[in-house]
Amino acid sequence: MTSVQVGKHDDERGGNGAAGGTPHGDASGDTPGEGYERGLGSRQVQMIAIGGAIGVGLFLGAGANIAKAGPSLILMYALAGVIIFFIMRALGELLLYRPVSGSFAEYSREFLGPFFGYLTGWTYWLLWVVTGMAELTAAAIYINYWFPAIPQWTTALVFLVVLFVANLISVKLFGEIEFWFSMVKVTAIIGMIVIGLGVLTFGFSAAGDTAAVSNLWAFDGFFPKGIGSSLMTLQGVMFAYLAVELVGVTAGESENPEKTLPKAINTLPWRIALFYVGALTVILCVVKWTEFAPGVSPFVAAFAKIGIPAGAGIVNFVVLTAALSSCNSGMYSTGRMLRTLADNGEAPKVFGKLSSTRTPAFGIAVSVLFMGVGVVLNYVVPEKAFGYVVSVATAAGIWTWLMILVSHILYRRAVDAGRLPASSFPAPGGAKFSWVAVVFLLFVTCLIAYDSESRVCLYVMAGWAAVLSIGWAVLKARNPEVTERREPEFEKTG
């Protein structure tokens, strides 16, 4: 528990710089007090939040999980969705207490100490770099569906450059691209639900004769492979929810975080209920779970069963936008995390510099270079490489969520003791549900360790932690002040 006192709320608009107490002018060459542009409106923040809850994990990964768990996968998504809501309400309380860009690292730094802020910041950067590697390769494969003659590396390179340029231009352009990517995904899922309900109600299409709600239990029951097999799918389910926390990274660039962030977080339950639980329920009523197989999108299978000629092409386009959306978000968040680390002396100072359009251009550029290396690696390594990258991203995501929850628990203790001001968006139940979420995430980690195929990510994360620990020791030897606790300041972001 930290005994640090927070600066006055007046500092939120008039403070002298970055979170952590290092003015941007000193750390990066920016003019003193310069911060991010508040270029994300309510419409964009809402769709970024929605898009974060819809990814390739749903469109593609659900097929393999249905084969493992049958209809009980619906319950796994619902259970994980409740935990994700607890995590987001904990994050929301912290965001409205002190809105900062790079929020996960900043709260870890304030409540757990500088080392945990450093570790969380670099780990979240790793999460998005490895995710970007996978998504770029996936996007190139999706394009090959229509244009098989185009080399895969060429398509990946084009997407990499286009998204890179868009992120450099302005945060408004990033928000607009993410808005339309999310719109495509939302429209596709709602369309699938409406068509599926039509099939169930009116019995039209080739699937009309076999579509029925009883498909949820008619074939070996709701848990056809047993409860244990269903629980093992939680690894993949949690991967599907990665990026839902991205709304927290936008806090410093939202026009009105006090209004837009609570709304985005409070609407999360219905988004999960509709896009995950609702969509999967309809699909599994229309198509028997026994007809799904790993590597086949349940949406493609459902459209094919219903008999929509262009169904495969439509879903391929939707999954392409999901991959590009994820990569776009990765470029956005990695640049912000590197800037937060630079502001705190935990990364080279050049990462803290903002471009003339007030974007962390150098940090984005370096991250893009690492993503580009991933394109080459995914081209030459076996197919299992994609799965390994996904498992590493999941492990990094679990660490990030744990840091949010522990920070929230410590924050609530400080509020109860009168050392910190209360947030305007308190989580229901105080810290109780944060404890529940911590236990759940530790349980999922145990499931990962039990699975021989996925536990490799824990070895990777152990190696990553060792590397970062060595880096911290070097940093402490060179500049001891960086590794000391400092009084947090309310960041000037506008």
Q: Give the pLDDT score at 222.
A: 94
pLDDT tens digits along 216-272: 998 899 999 999 999 999 988 888 888 777 766 665 566 677 777 788 788 888 888
Tokens 């900043």 belong to 106
Taking a C-beta distance cutoff of 8 angstroms, is the pair 130, 241 a contact?
Answer: no
Taking a C-beta distance cutoff of 8 angstroms, is the pair 489, 98 a contact?
Answer: no
pLDDT tens digits along 142-196: 788 788 888 777 888 888 898 888 888 777 777 788 788 888 888 888 888 898 8
**Per-residue tokens: 153:** 């590396």
Taking a C-beta distance cutoff of 8 angstroms, is the pair 238, 397 a contact?
Answer: yes
| In 61-134, beta strands by DSSP E | none
d(CA 326, CA 322): 6
Read off φ and ψ for residue 296, nearest 5 degrees: -115, 125
State the DSSP H helix or E strand holding residue 424, giving kind and residue range, or none if neither.
none
Domain layout of the chain by residue ranges: 40-483
CATH number of 40-483: 1.20.1740.10
**Per-residue tokens: 85:** 């809501």
State the DSSP H helix or E strand holding residue 396, giving kind and residue range, or none if neither.
helix 384-416
Taking a C-beta distance cutoff of 8 angstroms, is the pair 55, 181 a contact?
Answer: no
Q: Which residue has the higher pLDDT, 12 or 202?
A: 202
Structure letter (DSSP) for residue 203: -
Using pLDDT thresholds of 50, 70 and 90, give the confidence band for residue 407: very high
Q: Give the pLDDT score at 148.
A: 85
Structure letter (DSSP) for residue 381: S
Question: What Å distances lie between residue 83 and 35, 231, 268, 278, 306, CA to CA?
Answer: 33, 14, 11, 18, 34
* 467: Cα within 13 Å, side-chain hemisphere: 9
Q: In Å, how far from its chain's centre is CA 253?
A: 17
CB atoms within 10 A of CB 143: 19
d(CA 82, CA 272): 9
